Amino acid sequence: MNFKVKFKKIVKKNNSLLCVGLDIDKDKMPKHLFKNSKNPYLEFNKKIIDSTKDLVCAYKLNMAFYEVLGKNGLEILENTIEFIPDDIVIIIDGKRNDIGNTARKYAQSMFETFGADAVTINPYLGKDGIVPFLEYGDKCSFILCRTSNPSAIDLQDVKISKKPLYELVANKIREWDNLGICGAVVGATYPAELKTIREILGDEIPMLIPGIGAQGGDVEKTIKFGTNKNKENAIINSSRGIIYADTTMNFSKASRKEALILKKKINMYR
């Protein structure tokens, strides 16, 4: 199914712009799972999904947390994706890119091998590294534009022709969107920049917005500046603040509670 169609349908069905990040980390996960479960990581993800699937529009899986587990981690990634309901958007967060031929294999891996609806990619190599992803015309490529980390300013605020680099990237995303479905990754921790980028992108290009929750992004400003004129077309991600809300036997109930709180807060400003 075309990404934009699938995204619009699930937003309407669940009345949600919330994305839950499934970033599995043994150091943060409930300890009892590693004593009682044959596959603690997969069981953890399944319980989180079961407890939040009516509250979200998307799940985001960061490749680093799966790749570090080797072959078993990739199996967990595949099995988690298979478990996610078909109508919910699946984002694989790998921030991949390289020259054309290698980028093409990265795109094939993310979209064909793992079955993602959307991916995150790095724009540093320019158009040559973007086009192979956009050739999957029914998928979405979220391009790093203004990331949520504090040191983003080291490069992304550098002035080029009197404009910060992130503005130039935003303009390129709008240009590249004519070749396929582009999106932008813009951190909630930089609301002024979020506003500027939304103005550049217009209403039709979706944003993936991390930085809510553990990183301290403001929900009201995120909705005000990150959504389009219909208060839509934004995917607002929270990972640690939801999935690690509790480490007891009741962790999935606690995750649902936190997801519901954040969903309601997001919708309060829509």
Query: Angle formed by the axes of helices 191-201 and 165-176, to 10°?
Result: 30
- The mean per-residue pLDDT over the stretch 140-163 comes to 86
Residue 249's CB: how many other CB atoms inside 10 A? Answer: 11
- The mean per-residue pLDDT over the stretch 151-165 comes to 84
Q: Output the CA angle 69-55-41, nearest 5 degrees.
A: 15
More confident residue, 216 or 82: 82
Residue 103, pLDDT > 90, answer yes
CA dihedral 201, 204, 205, 206 (to 10 degrees): 130
Residue 118, pLDDT > 80, answer yes
pLDDT for residue 214: 65
Q: At 167, is the pLDDT very low, low, confident or very high (cuts 50, 70, 90)?
A: very high
List of long-range contacts for 66-74, beta carbons under 8 Å, 24+ apart: 66/24, 69/41, 73/41
Catalytic residues: 95
Least confident of 24-28, 61-65, 92-96, 153-157: 153-157
d(CA 86, CA 129): 29
Residue 152, pLDDT > 80, answer no
Domain spans, the chain: 3-268
pLDDT for residue 225: 96
- The mean per-residue pLDDT over the stretch 68-86 comes to 97
- The mean per-residue pLDDT over the stretch 200-209 comes to 97
- The mean per-residue pLDDT over the stretch 111-127 comes to 96
CATH class belonging to 3-268? alpha beta
pLDDT for residue 106: 96
Residue 74, pLDDT > 80, answer yes
Residue 36, pLDDT > 90, answer no
pLDDT for residue 210: 94
Least confident of 116-125, 155-164, 218-227: 155-164
Each residue's pLDDT tens digit, 214-244? 677 899 999 999 999 999 999 999 999 999 9
> pTM for this structure?
0.96
